[in-house]
Amino acid sequence: MKQFKIILPEFPRGFHLITGIINQELSPEFPQTGLLHLFIQHTSASLMINENFDPSVRRDLEAAFNDIVKENRDYYTHTTEGSDDMPAHIKAAMIGTELTIPITNGKLNLGQWQGIFLCEFRNRGGNRKIIATIIE
């Protein structure tokens, strides 16, 4: 088992394809067969696997999540970090903090239209940190 820390560049709010970053950082370490576990060390961002081809999917996901979890609700009490903070925590709880992806023939075994995404729910989330564990 090997473990790595990946520090992502700062992304604006939205859904960002990071498969290329993950491959660039880790692919020399991939075994022929194994698992890659990714864990994001934040409570206002998530990781997900979704459509990697059509960017309109990312825009639609952003619009849908903003519709489902609205900002500036009267019942929010966690508001000192801005109107995007509590909604970001709720969205992150809905999607989650980790992914496990099979490694086959030394490559991530994602489906043809699948990609790894950073779901940035803050207007300014900063550099996000991911712990990547490769299991042979």
Burial class (CB in 10 A: 0-12, 13-18, 19+), 86: buried
pLDDT at 32: 98
Please state the length of the chain: 136
pTM comes to: 0.96
Return all residues near 1 (Cβ < 8 A) that are at least 6 apart: 133, 134, 135, 136
Domain boundaries, the chain: 2-71+78-135
Q: Does domain 2-71+78-135 have CATH number 3.40.50.720?
A: no
pLDDT at 9: 97
pLDDT digits (tens, 9 = 90+) for 8-59: 999 999 999 999 999 999 999 999 999 999 999 999 999 999 999 999 999 9
pLDDT digits (tens, 9 = 90+) for 60-76: 999 999 999 999 999 99
> Contact 11/126 with Cβ under 8 angstroms?
no
pLDDT at 68: 98
pLDDT digits (tens, 9 = 90+) for 76-121: 999 999 999 999 999 999 999 999 999 999 999 999 999 999 999 9
